[in-house]
Amino acid sequence: MTSNVTPFPPGGAGAQKPGSDQSAAGAGHDGASVHGASQNGAAMDSASNGGKTADVVPLRERLVTDVLTALSMGPYVPLEVYERRCTGVKSAIDQASPADEIEGMLMAQLLTAHSRGLGFIRMSLTEEFIDERVRCAYILAATRLLSLARRHLAALNRHRDLVTERQQRAKDRRRQRRKQKQPPEWDQ
């Protein structure tokens, strides 16, 4: 199922695609009706869409929207910059292929921290007429953000290892209850 709402089209945040129905798109797409309670299914939000069930937004689309929102990719950004960033985010999410909501959350946070960290490095190197203290502040912010991205990648790998281990244990039937040893006096 595809969403009728693009993350941030050139016409403005939450603008409709041509020919789409406002009620079918989640009524304004303020993030509350689609991103809030409907992450695990369809949600009822009578205040925003007249009591109709909101469409379920696929994980990939939610992640792209979340990352672009965090990167402030709003309507004021030039179209070619928006499209390039959107393509990069989509390809990164497709490459990582998050299997569940937790992996998706970690992936979105990782992409945001990494992109912002690289942005601070770029700003510290390209702006010619900035004070050295500002340049150092940019580098410090970049270091912290890239460290955060590295920790998110480690957490993503730990989560994947944990899920794989749980699946293997279930497959091997190691979750069976073990019988507790009885004290010798009970055998009498």
Q: Is 26 exposed, middle or buried (0-12, 13-18, 19+ CB in 10 A)?
A: buried
Query: For position 166, what pLDDT does the model report?
Result: 87
Query: For position 74, what pLDDT does the model report?
Result: 72
Rounded CA separation 164/162 (Å): 5
Residues 68 and 7: beta-carbon distance below 8 Å: yes
Q: Which sequence spans correspond to the domains of the chain?
A: 57-171
pLDDT tens, 32-85?
Answer: 333 344 334 444 444 556 667 768 888 889 999 899 889 887 778 888 988 898
Reported confidence tier of residue 13, pLDDT bands at 50, 70, 90: very low
Give all strands (DSSP E) within the chain, no chain letters. none
Contacts of 42 (CB under 8 A, 6+ apart): 53, 54, 55, 56
Reported confidence tier of residue 89, pLDDT bands at 50, 70, 90: very high
pTM of the entire predicted model: 0.61
How many of the other CB atoms lie within 10 Å of CB of 141? 17
Which tops the pLDDT comparison, 135 or 185?
135
Reported confidence tier of residue 161, pLDDT bands at 50, 70, 90: very high
Query: For position 179, what pLDDT does the model report?
Result: 56
